[in-house]
Structure 1
Amino acid sequence: MEWRDAGIVLRVRRHGEAHAVVSVLTSSHGRQSGLVRGGGSRRSRAQLEPGTIGVADWRARLEDQLGTLSFEPLEAIAPDLLSDPDRLLALSSACAVLESTVTERVPVPDLYDATLALLSALRDGTPLEVYVQWEMALLTGLGFGLDLTCCAVTGTAADLRYVSPRTGRAVSEAGAGVYRDRLLPLPAFLRPDCLLSGPADRLSLGQGLSLTGHFLRRHALLPGRQDLPEARAMLIHRLAGRSGGDGA
Structure 2
Amino acid sequence: MSPLSHDRYCDEITHQVGLLRAVVTSGADLSVTVPTCPDWSLQRLVRHTGGALRWAESMVRTRAREAVADDKVPLGEGPENAADLDAWLAETGEALVATLREAGPDAAVWSWAGIPTSGFWARRMAHELTIHRADAALAAGLPYDVAADIAVDVIDEWLQIVEFVQRAMPHDGARELRGPGRSIHLHATDATAGLHAEWVVELTEDVIVWRRGHEKATVALRGPLTFVMLAFYRRLPLDHPELEVLGERELLEFWLERTTFG
Confirm or deny a common fold (TM above 0.5): no
Higher helix content, 1 or 2: 2
Higher strand content, 1 or 2: 1
TM-score by length of 1: 0.30
TM-score by length of 2: 0.29
